[in-house]
Structure 1
Amino acid sequence: MQFVVYIIVYPLLWLVSMLPFRLLYAFSDFLYLFIYRIFGYRSKTVKENLQLVFPEKSAAEIKTITKQFYHHFCDMMVEAIKSLTISKAEMKKRFRFSNVELLQDLEQRNRSVALMCAHYGSWEWIFILQHYIDNKGYAVYKRLVNSHFDKLIKRIRAKYNSHLITTKETIPILMRAKVKGTPFICGFVSDQSAKPNKALHWGEFMGYKVPMHTGAEMLAKRLDLAVVFFSVKRLKRGYYETSFETITENAKDFENYEITDMFFRLTEAQIKSAPQYYLWTHKRWKHKDKSASDYHEVKA
């Protein structure tokens, strides 16, 4: 059944990816009408999240941010599809880096990097980064249910010398690279909600205590990785600029979870500057102001 879905859907995705950008964004506007105006995809969650973290904003401001978010959300969807056929030259023109020299310097010093980011701006085209650096690139991801689409996504990323690895694969793959003395750069989208009964750290995010993933920090300490944060700024429709900021080159010098908290402070600054570009459709604050012990008590 998965293959049947794949052979039906893939040609449609390919046709969309072949559209010139002017028509691609016209298609995005069409999606916006269906996803937000007609079906209201997760609109309740988006509204609740925005009201929760921005209690000072009026109903009119929340509505404006919501509309802007859904327009951006649809743009990201079509941009992800465009990855099927977009040329490297076109992607380099549309996804620029303001200070890639920071990573190039670490590379010249033979340092491996944990590259941390949030679901903000556009992370779909970050893989073009591999055309500016030589170190092998990895990105931690969640395997897709449909194995055929999963292989497709991996194939697209591999074009740019980036390789998707699951959470379970991360430690053994990076450990082997460390033992071989092969520098690498590994991307972590670290703002997802961790399972509350397994979270090692509960920290503050946008004013609320929530369970946090700490894998990037723990691996940085274990493998002596430099930790770098990257933020994405939307310049105009279809054009982005990424900047890098070193959190630390000496992760072991920090107390446990301090680096994770620093990452979330940087993420908060991004969100507050332009909230419409954060991924508000997820229930990121559903476990707010609890702890692992509270969760076990509720489940008992």
Structure 2
Amino acid sequence: MQFLVYIVVYPFLWLISILPFRLLYMFSDGMFILLYHVIGYRKEVVYQNLKLVFPNKSEKEIKRISEAFYHHFCDMMLESVKSLTISETEMKKRFTFTNIDEIKQHEKNNRSVVLMCAHYGNFEWIFILQKYISAKGYAVYKQLANKYFDALIKRIRAKYNSYLITTKETIPTLVKAKLEGELTINGFAADQSPKINKAYHWNSFMDINVPIHTGAEMLAKKLDMVVVFFAVKKVKRGYYETTFKTITTTPKDYKNYAITDIYLKLVEQQIIEAPEYYLWTHKRWKHRDKQTQ
């Protein structure tokens, strides 16, 4: 059944991916009407999240942010599909870096990097970074249920010397790389809600006390990796600009969870500046009332 779904859906995705961007965004506009106005995909989740973190905003402003988010959400999904066939030249034109020397300097210093980000802007296109550096790229991800689509996503990333690994694969893969003297740059989107039984750290995120993922920080300390945050700014439709900020080159000098807390403050700055580009469809604050420690 999985293969049947794949061979039916894949040609449709491929046809979308070869559309010129002008037509792709026309398709996205239609998709917005369907998801937002007809189906109402997770509209209540988005509304509740926005009301929770922006209690002082008016209903009119909440509605404006919500609609702008859904427009961006549809764009981002189709941009991900576009990754199937987009050229390296086109990708470099649309996803640029303001200070890539920040990463290159760590590479010159023979340091591997934990690269942290939020589910913000089009964070998925960061894989083009691999065309500017020599370190091998890994991104921690949740494996897809359909093994054929899962393999497809891995193939797309592999074109750019970037590889997807599951949470269980992360430590053995990166320990092996370190023992073999291989430089790696490792992506973590750590702003979503962890499983409540694996919540070791709680703190304020957008003024709400929630459990927080700490795996990226713990890995950086274990393997002595530089910790870098990257912020994605949406310049205009289909164009993004990324800026790197080194949080620390000496992670072992920090108390547990201090690096994670710095990271979260950087995520908050992005959200406050332009909330419509954050991924509001996730139930990020669902465990806010369940702390038992």
TM-score range, shorter chain: over 0.9
8 Å contact 1:112–1:225 — kept in the other structure?
yes
Structure 1 residue 181, shift from structure 2 partner:
1.3
Query: Are residues 161 and 292 of structure 1, via their aligned partners in 2, closer, same or farther at CA, if it must alter by over 3 Å?
Result: farther
In structure 2, the partner of 1:44 is 44
Q: Work out the percentage of aligned pairs sharing the same amino acid.
A: 65
| Whole-Å separation in 2 of the counterparts to 1:244 and 1:91 | 18
| Match in the other structure for 1:274 | 274
Q: Distance in 1 between matches of 2:199 and 2:47?
A: 26
Q: 1:62 is matched with which residue?
A: 62
C-alpha distance in 2, partners of 1:278/1:271? 6
Equivalent residue, structure 1, for 2:202: 202
**Aligned-partner Cα distance in 1 for 2:86–2:143:** 23
Conservation of the 8 A alpha-carbon contact between 1:196 and 1:292: no
- How many angstroms does 1:253 deviate by? 0.5
TM-score, structure 2 length as denominator? 0.99
Q: Give unmatched runs, 5+ long, in structure 1.
A: 294-300
What's the counterpart of residue 220 of structure 1? 220
CA positional deviation for 1:290: 3.1
The AA in structure 2 aligned to 1:130 is Q
Q: Which residue of 2 aligns with 1:125?
A: 125
For structure 1, which segment, 177-186 or 68-77, has the greater mean C-alpha deviation from structure 2 after superposition? 177-186
Number of residue pairs matched? 293
Shift in Å, 1:123: 1.1
Equivalents in 2 of 1:80, 1:117: separation in Å?
A: 17
Aligned AA (2:154): K
Partners of 2:10 and 2:292 in 1: CA distance: 42
For the pair 1:87 / 2:109, whether they are aligned, the reply is no
State the alpha-carbon separation in 2 of the partners of residues 211 and 2 from structure 1: 34
- Residue 245 of structure 1 corresponds to 245
Contact 1:209 1:290 in 2 (8 A): no
Aligned-partner SS, 2:124: coil
Inter-partner Cα distance in structure 1 for 2:236 and 2:289: 37
Structure 1 partner of 2:98: 98
Q: Which amino acid aligns with 2:190?
A: S
State whether structure 2 residue 161 is matched by structure 1 residue 161.
yes
Residue identity in the other structure for 1:24: L
- Counterparts of 2:226 and 2:204 in 1: how far apart (Å)? 24
Letter matched to residue 101 of structure 2: E
> Which amino acid in the other structure matches residue 224 of structure 1?
D
Within a 5 Å distance, the mapping from 1:289-300 to structure 2 comes to 289-293=289-293
The structural deviation recorded for 1:182 is 1.0
Name the residue aligned to 2:19: 19
SS of residue paired to 2:196: coil
Question: Does structure 2 retain, via aligned residues, the 8 Å contact 1:202–1:210?
Answer: yes
Alignment deviations for residues 222-278 of structure 1 (CA, whole Å, 9 cap, x no partner): 000000000000000000000000000000000000111111000000000000000
Q: Which residue of 2 aligns with 1:137?
A: 137
TM-score after normalising by structure 1: 0.97
Q: Do 1:197 and 1:292's aligned partners in 2 also have CA atoms closer than 8 Å?
A: no
What is the CA-CA distance between 1:289 and the residue it aligns to?
4.0
Give 2:140's aligned amino acid: V
* Kept after mapping to 2: 8 A contact 1:141/1:167: yes
Distance 2:121 2:78 in 1: 14
- Distance of 1:232 and 1:271 partners within structure 2: 11
- Distance in structure 1 (CA, Å) of the matches to 2:239 and 2:231: 14
Give SS of 1:125's match: helix
Which blocks of at least 5 consecutive residues in structure 2 are unaligned?
A: none
Query: What residue identity is the alignment partner of 2:12?
Result: L
Runs of 4+, deviation exceeding 2 Å: none
AA of the residue aligned to 1:23: L
For 1:110 and 1:53, the matched residues in 2 are separated by 41
1:124 aligned counterpart, secondary structure = helix
CA contact (8 A) 1:116 1:189 kept: yes
The 5 A counterparts of 1:1-12 are: 1-12=1-12
Are the counterparts in 2 of residues 204 and 210 from structure 1 also a CA contact under 8 Å? yes
Aligned position for 2:285:
285
Question: What's the CA shift string for 1:28-75, capped at 9, x where partnerless?
Answer: 001000000100000000000000000110000000000000000000
Judge conservation of contact 1:229–1:263 (CA < 8 Å) in 2: yes
* TM superposition shift of 1:197: 1.9
